[in-house]
Structure 1
Amino acid sequence: MTSRTPRPRERGIPEATVARLPLYLRALHGLSERGTPTVSSEELASVAGVNSAKLRKDLSHLGSYGTRGVGYDVEYLIYQISRELGLTQDWSVAIIGAGNLGRALADYGGFGTRGFRIAALLDADPKTVGREVAGLSVRHIDELEDVVSDEKVSIGVIATPAAAAQGVCDRCVGAGVGSILNFAPVVLNVPEHVDVRKVDLSIELQILAFHEQRKAVGRRGPGWADALEV
């Protein structure tokens, strides 16, 4: 039996805390790049965009409490959070769907510096297969299972049209992929042991549109809002 790194929730860390750890890590990397050796909880919370009391509670789950009057050691906290998130090892990633989004994801340089290796980019379009993107030759979707096995892919990124997403997801799961990042505008059905994170840019834009409309109502008064409902 092979061992694996315990998931944060198995170590008693709440899911809400897990969701905020990447925010703290991003803020800490920014501080590190500026040569900041230590940071107070208030300063780190401000940079990360969260409440300082919530930040202190979150970090206490890692056993990190900082030093009174000094704060947190930036480099050590980066290590602690990276270790908890499993980023002290490299994770092999396959992107399925070599359209505009898939190519942009493959070309993003930030993955490699955060512990993720883009092992393959796959597509079903014969006109796309064989093209080079970010140093990778686009492979045919028929090679998915071989890619997962040969490259030891842990995470699959689905950037296909909605109609193809579930089928691609099923094949990823069947090949042994344990986590899916889904950019397709559809809800995926997966076994309980598989983790899925969904990124729907259109939903995020709709939420922003809601807030923009409310701000416009506030500027123009209730009469304008009533007109919208007619």
Structure 2
Amino acid sequence: MTSSDTSSHPLAAGQDGGGRQIPPASVARLTIYLRALNGLLTDGVERVSSEELAEGSGVSSSIVRKDLSYLGSYGTRGVGYDVQYLSRQIAAALGLTHDWRVAIVGAGNLGKALARYTGFESRGFDVVAIFDADQMVVGSEVGWLRVSPVSDLETVLARTRANMVVLALPGPVAQEMCDRVVAVGVSSILSFAPVTLQVPPHVTLRKVDMATELQILAYHAQRAQEPTLGSAPRARAAEA
């Protein structure tokens, strides 16, 4: 058993539809491009340049072109990219053309918020089940779902054909629930639990640690507030 946030799963490994390796940073940016492209489609835009896509994604046009080259999409000089075609290419590379059925384990405030989020369906994810251990919560309705008891986890996952699981759980119970999910055959897990989980090599585990992200944000905020003049003497001393 290993702690992992990557695996042989095509999306986690960063592979396009042809099995070519895509760097993790590029995979992350492809999701941003897809969101921008979907916005352009909504506005009826048919073609977009790398510069326009870069502006809408917060990166440079050279990065956009490099990322899209992993898909074999190079655009046409002076014409740009076909928005609808490029959107389909990225969706296929990210695995969004598959049927992703998501179950949420944990019906606390976070789990309920995730279950009610309407953006999942538009991005190809169908939330099919939600679980909790609290008998005061079991049987209640969250959106259109009814909370199932965790004692029925294996049965409900099989019945709903869930192939992705979100763990919105406190640390002490997260590993046990993770083990049960893996034992059923689910190999794609997103964890919000504040612990490092152990999974087999074939399982894709992504961890969202809000505290860590806030600490990183605090670091950058502090750096932005540091007086630039005060750093010059230290820099010269270091060079000496």
The alignment's TM-score, normalised by the length of structure 1, stands at 0.89
3-state DSSP of counterpart to 1:165: helix
Amino acid at match of 1:207: I
CA separation of 1:127 and 1:16: change in aligned 2, threshold 3 A:
same
Rounded to whole Å, the distance in 2 between the matches of 1:221 and 1:159 is 44
- 2:197 aligns with 188
- 2:70 aligns with 61
Counting only pairs closer than 5 Å after superposition, residues 79-98 of structure 1 correspond to structure 2 as: 79-98=88-107
Rounded to whole Å, the distance in 1 between the matches of 2:200 and 2:60 is 35
- 1:31 aligns with 40
Deviation, 1:164, is: 1.0
Structure 1, unpaired ranges of 5+: 223-230
Rounded to whole Å, the distance in 2 between the matches of 1:15 and 1:214 is 26
- 1:209 aligns with 218
The number of aligned residues is 218
Counting only pairs closer than 5 Å after superposition, residues 159-174 of structure 1 correspond to structure 2 as: 159-174=168-183
Rounded to whole Å, the distance in 1 between the matches of 2:158 and 2:118 is 24
**1:167-195 superposed Cα distances (whole Å, 9 cap, x missing partner):** 11111100111110111111111100000
Counting only pairs closer than 5 Å after superposition, residues 133-172 of structure 1 correspond to structure 2 as: 133-172=142-181
Which of 1 and 2 has higher RCO (CA within 8 Å, sep 6+)? 2
CA separation of 1:213 and 1:12: change in aligned 2, threshold 3 A:
closer
Deviation, 1:6, is: 5.2
Q: Report sequence identity in percent.
A: 56
CA separation of 1:52 and 1:137: change in aligned 2, threshold 3 A:
same
Amino acid at match of 1:58: D
Amino acid at match of 1:50: V
Contact 1:148–1:176 (CA<8 Å) still a contact in 2?
no
Candidates 195, 198, 201, aligned match of 2:207? 198
3-state DSSP of counterpart to 1:157: strand
Structure 2, unpaired ranges of 5+: 1-8, 232-240
Candidates 116, 128, 133, aligned match of 1:119? 128
Rounded to whole Å, the distance in 2 between the matches of 1:221 and 1:129 is 58
